[in-house]
Structure 1
Amino acid sequence: MSALTSIAPSVDEMYLTAEKCFADLPEFMRKAAGDVRILVMDYAEDETLDEMQIDDALELTGLYVGIPLTLESVTNPSEYRPLVYLYRLPILFEWAARGDVTVEELVTHVFIHELGHHFGWSDEEMDAKLEEDD
């Protein structure tokens, strides 16, 4: 999908954007991320929203599910592959409301943010890192 198009990407197109983002990461980050799975859905499931005490499904653009690398060990490995969810419709609503980024940029931002949780970074640490880059 072209960055200049105003057509909303499909689930498959959004997945390909996240895969490209992953492929473009520095090698050391790709290795550290290991076999993180990416799943794109239109919205988070009701159970997920309830667990997170979120009333409006449009408020959740992405979610990391897994054990952060900082908490795993050889003697305490995770039984499940880590998973990054991207929620298509909330991302598209944010994109439309903002108007200052492409869909690809927003998908990349959400994906990197959720991948940051896999590396053990808190929201506050990620925000600080983003502010340093500005």
Structure 2
Amino acid sequence: MPVELSREGFEELVREALAELPAEFRRYLNGLEVRVDDYPDDELMAEWGLVPPDYPFGMYDGPALPDVDTPSDFPGTIVLYRRPLEEWCQSEDELRDQVRRTVYHELGHRFGYSDEGMLDELRGGAGIPWPEKARQAEAARHLRQAEHDLGAGEALLAAGRHDWALDAALASADRALRALLLTWGEDPEAIGHDGIPELLARAVRHDPAFRRFKPLLRLDGVSLDMGEAGASPPCERVRPAVAREAVSCAQDLVAEARQAGD
């Protein structure tokens, strides 16, 4: 079940996350406003190209440290979105951890890091490596979702909904790869923005036998959008054989993730 905290309780989690920052980070917080909103407004969602329920956890609005004249005191705002964070997490401990990670993520933007390059460096600088127990719990969480997505893909394949089956199978494969990589010791933040090509490349570096999943790269490239005007819709474009292959790949990856987690 999603977590529900009072606004005061949620804001306390945010204060805890900020208090954990070492002094060399906190000295760059002068001029920074940190606030909590329930959800981003419609204008921001449109600007980001997002549609509910695909909400972000937070945002940073303001200049980055390399671009200012007085790095010890410059304006900016971090907003954490309370409801998406609560709906994502299954316990207060998980929510506390996700709030902390979101605060650090948005601070990374204030310090000038991009989404792709910021997370490992910021976590290392803040001295908060992932504990082994937390990393394995994250692996188990991804595996549970991979199994759920796989079940949906199998049911959709049996019903002849080949485009939806492909989509669910790819989601399952993505999460199974994440579960595997976390079980093998990868940092959750390091793989947070990876897609299937990057996840599979990491898996192959751990075990070259995972090259057998190379067909996933082709399947991941199958377009599921409507395309140009007059083009066949996805329900007509995705062939049964493609959906079957995707579900088969997902089944094998979920089996690998289960075995690795035992």
Does the TM-score normalized on the shorter chain lie above 0.5?
yes
* Aligned partner of 1:28 among 24, 33, 45: 24
SS, match of residue 86 in structure 2 = helix
Q: Is the 8 A contact 2:35 2:80 kept in 1?
A: yes
Post-superposition offset of 1:131: 8.8
Structure-2-length-normalised TM-score:
0.42
Match of 2:89 among 92, 95, 99: 95
Alpha-carbon distance in structure 2 between the residues aligned to 1:47 and 1:57? 15
- Point out where structure 2 has 5 or more consecutive residues left out of the alignment: 130-186, 188-262
Query: Which structure 1 segments of 5+ residues have no match?
Result: 1-5
Is the contact made by 1:33 and 1:118 (CA closer than 8 Å) also made in structure 2?
no
TM-score by length of 1: 0.78
**Paired residue total:** 123
Shift of 1:70: 1.2
Q: Distance in 2 between matches of 1:123 and 1:109?
A: 13
Cα RMSD between the aligned structures? 2.6
Question: In the alignment, what sits opposite 2:44?
Answer: 48
In the TM superposition, structure 1's runs of 4+ consecutive aligned residues that sit over 2 Å from their partners are 126-134
Partner of 1:121: 113
Decide which structure has greater helix share: 2
Partner Cα separation in structure 2 for residue 17 and residue 131 of structure 1: 18
More strand by share: 1
CA apart distance, 1:60: 0.9
* Distance across 2 between alignment mates of 1:7 and 1:92: 5
Q: Separation in 1 of the partners of 2:62 and 2:123?
A: 26
Q: What's the counterpart of residue 225 of structure 2?
A: none
Tell me: CA distance 1:23–1:66, structure 2 relative to 1, closer, same or farther (3 Å): same
Find the aligned partners of 1:9 and 1:90 in 2 and give their Cα distance.
12
| C-alpha distance in 1 between matches for 2:57 and 2:10 | 12
Which structure has more RCO (C-alpha within 8 Å, separation ≥ 6)? 1
CA contact (8 A) 2:3 2:89 kept: no
The AA in structure 1 aligned to 2:81 is Y
**Counterpart code for 2:28:** A
1:15 and 1:38 in contact (8 A); partners too: no
